[in-house]
Chains A and B, each alone.
Chain A
Amino acid sequence: MGETRCIGRSASPGVAIGTLFVLETAIAGRRGTGTPEQEDTALGDAIEVAKAELAELIGQAEGEAADILSFQVAMLEDEELAAPARAEIAGGVAADLAWRNALDAQIADYAASDDEYFRARVSDLADIRDRVLQHLSGAQVQALPGGAVIAAEDITPSRFLSHDWKSGGAIVLSKGSPSSHVAMLARARHVPMVVGVDFDTAKLKPGAPAIVDGAAGVIILDPEAESHQAARTRVADDKRLAAEAQHFLKRPAVTGDGSAVAIYINVASPDELAEIDPAICDGIGLVRTELLFHGHHGLPDEEQQHGAYKRILDWAAGRPVIVRTLDAGGDKPIPGLTIEESNPFLGLRGLRLSLKRPEVFRTQLRALCRAAVAGELKIMLPMVTVPAELAEARAHLDAVVVELAQAGIAHRRPPLGIMVEVPSVAVTPERFAADFFSIGSNDLTQYVMAAARDLNSVAHLADTGNPAVLALITRVAAQGAARGIEVSLCGDAASDPALVPHLLRCGLRKLSAAPAAVGRVKAAIAGIDLRS
Chain B
Amino acid sequence: MTLGTTEATASTLLTHAAGLHARPTLKLTKLAKTFAAKIEIAVKSEGPWIDAKSVVKVMAMKAPKGSTLHFRAEGDKAAEVLAALVALVDRDFDEGAEAETAGAQADG
Contact = CB atoms under 8 A, between A and B. Distances in A.
Contacts of B59: 75, 121
B3 interface: no
A156 interface: no
Interface in B41-65: 51, 54-57, 59-60, 62, 64-65
A441 B106 CA distance: 11
Contact of B26 (A74, A109, A311): A74
B19 A117 contact: yes
What is the interface of chain B mostly: helix, strand, loop, or mixed? loop
Interface string A285-318: 0101011000111101000100110010000000
B91 to A, nearest CB: 11
Given A291-B101, A492-B108, A514-B104, A74 B55 contact: yes
Interface stretch (A159-167, A203-211, A269-277, A365-373): A269-277
Contacts of A300: 66
Given A74-B29, A81-B56, A121 B102 contact: no
Given A71-B23, A71-B26, A269-B17, A491 B100 contact: no
Contact of B65 (A9, A296, A444): A296
Interface string B25-44: 11001100000000000000
Nearest to A419: B108
A121 B56 CA distance: 12
Contacts of B107: 266, 286, 288, 440, 442, 490-492
A440 to B, nearest CB: 3
Interface in A60-118: 67-68, 70-71, 74-75, 77-78, 80-81, 106, 109-110, 113, 115-118
B108 A274 contact: no
A300 B101 CA distance: 18
A456 B19 CA distance: 34
B21 interface: yes
Given A10-B103, A71-B23, A274-B95, A297 B67 contact: yes
A443 interface: yes
Contact of A274 (B25, B54, B97): B97
A276 to B, nearest CB: 10
Contact of A268 (B15, B66, B105): B105
B105 A288 contact: yes
Given A179-B102, A271-B17, A67 B23 contact: yes
Interface residues of B, number: 39
Contacts, number: 134
A109 B62 CA distance: 10
Interface string A177-190: 11101001001000
A268 B104 CA distance: 8
Contact of A118 (B13, B62, B108): B62
A262 B55 CA distance: 46
A68 B107 CA distance: 32
Contacts of B54: 78, 80
Contacts of A296: 64-67
B84 interface: no
A234 interface: no
A439 B104 CA distance: 19
Interface in A124-148: 124
B108 A490 contact: yes
Contacts of A275: 97
A295 B66 contact: yes
Given A115-B19, A275-B97, A75 B108 contact: no
Given A80-B57, A178-B103, A274 B96 contact: yes
B55 A268 contact: no
Q: Shortest 9 CB-CB distances between A and B: which pairs?
A: A295-B66, A491-B108, A440-B108, A274-B97, A271-B99, A274-B96, A442-B108, A297-B66, A80-B56
Interface of A: 9-10, 67-68, 70-71, 74-75, 77-78, 80-81, 106, 109-110, 113, 115-118, 121, 124, 177-179, 181, 184, 187, 266, 268-275, 286, 288, 290-291, 295-298, 300, 304, 307-308, 311, 331-332, 419, 421, 439-444, 453, 489-492, 514, 516
Interface of B: 13, 15, 17-19, 21-23, 25-26, 29-30, 51, 54-57, 59-60, 62, 64-68, 95-108
Given A9-B103, A67-B23, 5 more contacts: A266-B107, A268-B104, A271-B17, A304-B13, A442-B108
16 contacts: A9-B103, A67-B23, A70-B26, A71-B22, A78-B55, A179-B100, A266-B107, A269-B101, A270-B96, A291-B17, A304-B66, A311-B96, A332-B105, A440-B107, A489-B108, A492-B107
